[in-house]
Structure 1
Amino acid sequence: MGMQDAATRAPTGLAVHAGTAAAMVAFAANSVLARAALATGAADPVGYTAIRLVAGAAALSLLARRRTAVAAPGPAGDPIAAAALFAYALAFSLGYVRVGAATGALILFAAVQGGMIGWNVLRGARPSRRQTAGLAVAAVALVALLAPGLHAPDPLGAATMALSGAAWAVYTLRAGAGDPLRRTAANFRLAAPMAVAALLLPGVRIDVGAEGVLLAIASGALASGLGYAVWYAVLPALPRNTAAVVQLSVPAIAAVAGVVLLGEPLGLATLLPALAILGGVFLALRDPAAR
């Protein structure tokens, strides 16, 4: 995540806390909205993805244009980042056909963090003992969550959500310099046509009702578009380590929302591994070496 241009002033105090909380709720809402649309058959995964990315591209472009005082053209976007964004969004939709909001958000989060930390290790970074212990706890807990049993999530759904998280890790690692909101808008504009083109692939069955359209637009324009705008506005005021740790709240918010709004069960077989995963990642991210 990059810093904003000089035309934007970072908020302070209460505005930072409120904005951070709003952004985390928005990110968690993506899981709830997708599950609400895809588990009920209100939308098919490919159609939902296309509407979400088109709505996100439109909202982000409008927000970036209104917010910045810079008259120069925005960035052209990164084709590799855009492809990773499309892969993330499509796998996200496919996964939420089979897994609940809480489980999906947790697997996604673990895959993102694992992918990013793994990439840093491959590049020569040496995790400290504290980081290693935290990641080990998270990995064991994730295995426990996915282990075959009465409450185990659907294996294909879990694998698809992990793929979505890996794609998002690639997208995050491709982040460049400059205004992150304008860069994100540009990448959404490149990813949206990919999603629309996927609708034309052989064997793709488009089945999106009015409710599915509304849920996809809400995910793209509000949870993604407005969520990123708020997040990038408060990000310069947050210490790097704090910005990473606060995102631990997203799976927890998604879990609570899944129970309250969707009536999804949340038994100990899911809750205990989930807490261990979040605790392990928290331990790794709080290590001074990770700052």
Structure 2
Amino acid sequence: MSSIRLTLLTLVTMLCFAGNSVLCRLALRQTSIDAASFTSVRLISGALMLALLVHGRQRFRGSVIASRGRFPGLGGSWISALALFAYASSLSFSYANISTGIGALLLFGAVQATMILTGLWHGERLNARQLGGLLLAMAGVVAILSPRLDAPPLGSALLMLASGVAWGVYSLRGRGVADPTGDTAGNFLRATLLSVLLSAALLTHQQLDGLGALYAVLSGAITSGMGYAVWYVVLPKLTRTRAAAVQLSVPVLASLAGALFVHEPITLRLLLTSLAVLGGIAMVVYSRPSAV
């Protein structure tokens, strides 16, 4: 793959990741759809898109796989599906009360922190620069959560952090799989069943909205389904450090898109906390940790 094509595909995936935050925020702020319904429509749309991609790939290869109790070509596991469902549902409920930029910052900060802490658990060690970066990032998160007039609701912020942890767990479980697209399709399908159960449990609070459902379909089929498929094509071509670093652009892109499409202000508080969180994480990922 040429460097130009790799750069363009990487940019597309980062725009898709930022688009998920923007579409979710648009739906839950500007339409009447409820968070559970948005999650269900998003996951169903993503599952259908990924299933079509897997089916089209099989037809292109001229292969027919017997199902034997599972959907042809779809892998994954219930544990990964549970992590995916936790990510998607927490994201939706959080974005009902939190701005696009702050939400994306907390989300991807938690994703990177989960991966960094997992590395420490498995024997990696941080040097002085990395430790300073981790402390700086943590200080930025504390600053976001500190009580101020423009601070996000604590419950929504903690829910977004939980969403980031769940996505980090899902990403870690997906590393090194033989067929990432097929596994992602299977995980989406399983997560869809969980989201339907959630919607059934909250049926009395259900509010469907045509525009909100359209945003959910776009989030599921385009920025999630197709976005993840492209990301898994790009990921093997990137080093671990570069893969982590490029994702730091997502909160910035989400903040700009939030200002453009959701008319959310880019405040000095957002700029300073973003600098602390993203700069701190960059200090960690740009220096290779040492193993015991």
TM-score of the pair, normalised by structure 1: 0.92
CA contact (8 A) 2:137 2:277 kept: yes
Q: Which runs of 5+ in 2 are unaligned?
A: 66-71
Which residue number corresponds to residue 5 of structure 1? none
* CA offset digits 1:111-136 (Å, max 9, x no partner): 11112211222233222222211111
Q: Is the 8 A contact 2:75 2:182 kept in 1?
A: no
Q: How many angstroms apart in 1 are the aligned matches of 2:52 and 2:130? A: 40
Q: Which segments of structure 1 move beyond 4 Å, counting only runs of 4 or more?
A: none
CA contact (8 A) 2:31 2:211 kept: no
Aligned counterpart, 2:107:
108
Which residue does 2:165 correspond to in 1?
166
Compute the displacement of 1:12 (Å): 2.1
Q: In 2, distance between residues paired with 1:108 and 1:239?
A: 22
Question: How far off its partner does 1:204 sit?
Answer: 4.6
* Residue range with higher mean Cα deviation, 241-250 or 118-127: 118-127
Contact kept in structure 1, 2:39 and 2:89, CA below 8 Å:
yes
* 8 Å Cα contact 2:112/2:244 also seen in 1: no
How far did 1:15 drift?
1.0
| Aligned-pair CA distance for 1:74 | 2.1
Which of 12, 26, 47 pairs up with 2:37?
47
Give the structure 1 partner of residue 75 of structure 2.
Answer: 76
Counterpart residue type for residue 139 of structure 1: M
Work out whether 1:60 is the aligned partner of 2:59. Answer: no
- Residues 93-149 of structure 1 show CA distances to partners (whole Å, capped at 9, x for unaligned) of 000001011000000011111122112222332222222111111111111121111
Task: Please report the TM-score for the alignment, with normalisation by the length of structure 2.
Answer: 0.92
Q: Tell me, yes or no, if structure 1 residue 244 matches structure 2 residue 244.
A: yes
SS of 1:174 mapped into structure 2:
helix
Q: Percent identity?
A: 42
Structure 2 counterpart of 1:188: 188
The alignment of Structure 1 onto Structure 2 pairs a total of residues equal to: 281
Equivalent residue, structure 1, for 2:89: 90
CA RMSD of aligned residues (A): 1.7
Q: C-alpha distance in 2, partners of 1:135/1:211?
A: 40
Secondary structure in 2 aligned to 1:275? helix
Q: Distance in 1 between matches of 2:246 and 2:204?
A: 38
Deviates more, 1:249-258 or 1:123-132: 123-132
Which residue identity lines up with residue 92 of structure 1 in the other structure? L
Tell me what 1:207 maps to: 207
Match of 2:126 in 1: 127
**Any gaps of 5 or more consecutive residues in structure 1?**
1-10
Quick one: distance in 1 between partners of 2:215 and 2:202? 25
